[in-house]
Amino acid sequence: MSKSFYNLIDNEVSQIVEDNLFKSERLIATPQQASIKLIDGKDVLNFCANDYLGLANNQLVKKAAAESLEDDGFGMASVRFICGTNNVHRELEKKLSEFLGYEDSILYVACFDANGGLFEPLFGKEDAIISDSLNHASIIDGIRLCKAERYRYQHSDMSSLEQCLQQAKENKARHIVIATDGVFSMDGTYAKLDQICELAEKYDALVMVDDCHATGFVGKNGKGTPEHFGVEGKVDILTGTLGKALGGASGGFICAKENVVQLLKQRSRPYLFSNALSPSIVKATLQALEIVENEPDRRARIKENTLYFREKMNELGFTLKGESHPITPVMLGDAEIAQKMSAALLEKGLYAVGFFYPVVPKGQARIRLQLTSEHTKNQLDKAIEIFEEVGKSLKVI
């Protein structure tokens, strides 16, 4: 046992506390939904789940999972290529690729793994990866694990992206891939996919989009940011999660051409060296996708809720980031204010979490709210009322 090691860890944790950057985890005592109970018995409105379509506690989704437990058992106890592939895994891979407009797809136990295992098998040192500076940690890590030349463009800055493309061409990159979040999860903004795809065509680059905050509810049919921007068929590789709008349990996927998926199944390390998804999650996700297709009113409601809530909060004088996406960040600047505000909101019955360094840049602390299709007008009005009270008492508005 090295005393100095543990001392160093102690110091680091104390520093995080001192800087008001310590994140504590609240215990929830009910299923995930628009209104939840905390472990101390307090009822609060829930404005921080990724449960965009309210499927995390949906009866049909739960029933599909429960039936699968009976029919298929609990776990696969194997990776996919050994004995971890049930026909439902292939069914979901086919369903996801068909729904999203791709030749095939590959499942992972998380989108973090999908992004982590995507780049290394497909791109080598002769290639170039051009990444948005605000991309999700999992994309950044995935790129780090790959030997390709790395370029980073300023967030959503198309001239910065074009400079990177030119540089990569000058450096004689064999293949170039542009990697971006479809929706930036801290800001609620969309990548400029139409322009990105145009630049990709001009420079003969591939496009990779992580659509975790879009699959199922962004775009007319819920097919995500490519549909939202009318660039279906132009995004070469699409990654996504089963852990947000599609029921919220866990799981991730990559959609691509058939040969790309084939190679990933041979070489992608988080796929080869990690357990298969539980069949109950797979069948519940198939049910969630069916709801996405059959109940477009959920998408209409989340849109309505988002526009209504943003309008009212703007009127009150809050500074919001993003556009028309249910991720609604209320900008505060200072981490301490964000901590205080989130505590005061909770006290009044609104659960919304403060985000600060290192998940957002220093000085850009915020409360990130997330709306769902299942928030009622009453719940939205109550939340707005609480925000007004707390905002005034903390002199934010």
Ligand X SMILES: *Cc1c(COP(=O)(O)O)cnc(C)c1O
Peptide bond into 296 cis (omega under 30): no
Residue 138 interacts with ligand X (CB under 6 A)?
A: yes
User: Cβ 248 to ligand X, closest distance in Å?
Assistant: 9
Is 368 part of any known ligand binding site? yes
Q: Which two three-digit tokens encode residue 312?
A: 């009212």
How far is it, in rounded angstroms, from Cα 36 to Cα 245?
A: 18
Assess contact for 269 and 259: CB atoms under 8 A: no
Number of residues that bind ligand X (CB under 6 A): 14
**By C-beta, is 110 or 350 nearer to ligand X?**
110
Residue 194 makes CB contacts below 8 A (sequence gap 6+) with: 229, 230, 231
Catalytic residue check, 348:
no
Q: Of the listed 89, 95, 213, 223, which one is catalytic?
A: 213
Window of 33-41, 98-106, 107-115, 149-157 that interacts with ligand X by CB under 6 A: 107-115
Is 219 assigned a ligand-binding role in the annotation?
A: no
Q: Convert residues 198-217 into a mask of x (bound to ligand X by CB under 6 A) and - (unbound).
A: ------------x-xx----
Question: In angstroms, how far apart are the furthest CA atoms of the chain?
Answer: 62
213 is catalytic: yes
Q: Angle 137-144/111-122 helices, nearest 10 degrees?
A: 30
Does residue 51 touch ligand X according to CB under 6 A?
A: no
Pick 203 or 253: Cβ nearer ligand X: 253
Q: Which amino acid is at 57?
A: N
**Of the two residues 76 and 214, which places its CB atom closer to ligand X in the complex?**
214
* Chain residues 171-200 in contact with ligand X, contact rule CB under 6 A: 181, 185
**Is 274 annotated for ligand binding?**
yes
Q: Is 373 in the site for ligand X (CB under 6 A)?
A: no
Of the residues 89, 136, 283, 299, which one makes contact with ligand X according to CB under 6 A: 136
| 306 neighbors 299 (Cβ within 8 angstroms) | no
Of the candidates 89, 223, 228, 244, the residue annotated as catalytic is 244
d(CA 84, CA 274): 10
- The residue ranges of DSSP E strands in the chain, in sequence order, are 35-37, 43-46, 104-108, 128-132, 149-153, 176-181, 183-184, 189-190, 206-210, 237-241, 252-256, 327-333, 350-351, 353-355, 365-370
Taking CB under 6 A as the rule, does residue 142 contact ligand X?
no
Question: What's the half-sphere exposure (Cβ side, CA atoms, 13 Å) at 355?
Answer: 19
- Nearer to ligand X among residue 52 and residue 387 (C-beta): 52
Nearer to ligand X, 372 or 379 (CB): 372
- Does the footprint of ligand X cover residue 241 (CB under 6 A)? yes
Contact 158, 194 (CB under 8 A): no
As measured in angstroms, the least distance from the Cβ of 336 to ligand X is 26
**244 carries a ligand binding annotation:** yes
Among 55, 65, 76, 110, the residue binding ligand X under the rule CB under 6 A is 110
- 325 flagged as catalytic: no
Q: Is residue 132 close enough to count as binding ligand X by CB under 6 A?
A: no
111 binds ligand X (CB under 6 A): yes
Q: Is 185 annotated as a binding residue?
A: yes
225 interacts with ligand X by CB under 6 A: no
CB of 15 to ligand X, least distance (A): 27
C-beta of residue 240 within 8 angstroms of C-beta of residue 111 = yes
Measured CA to CA, the distance from residue 127 to residue 176 in angstroms comes to 6
- Residues making up the chain, counted from first to last: 397
DSSP tally for the chain: helices H, then strands E: 14, 15
342 annotated ligand-binding residue: no
Contact call for residue 353 and ligand X (CB under 6 A): no
Binding residues vs ligand X (CB under 6 A): 110-112, 115, 136, 138, 181, 185, 210, 212-213, 241, 243, 252
Active-site residue set: 185, 213, 244
Residue list for the binding site for pyridoxal 5'-phosphate? 111-112, 185, 241-244, 274-275
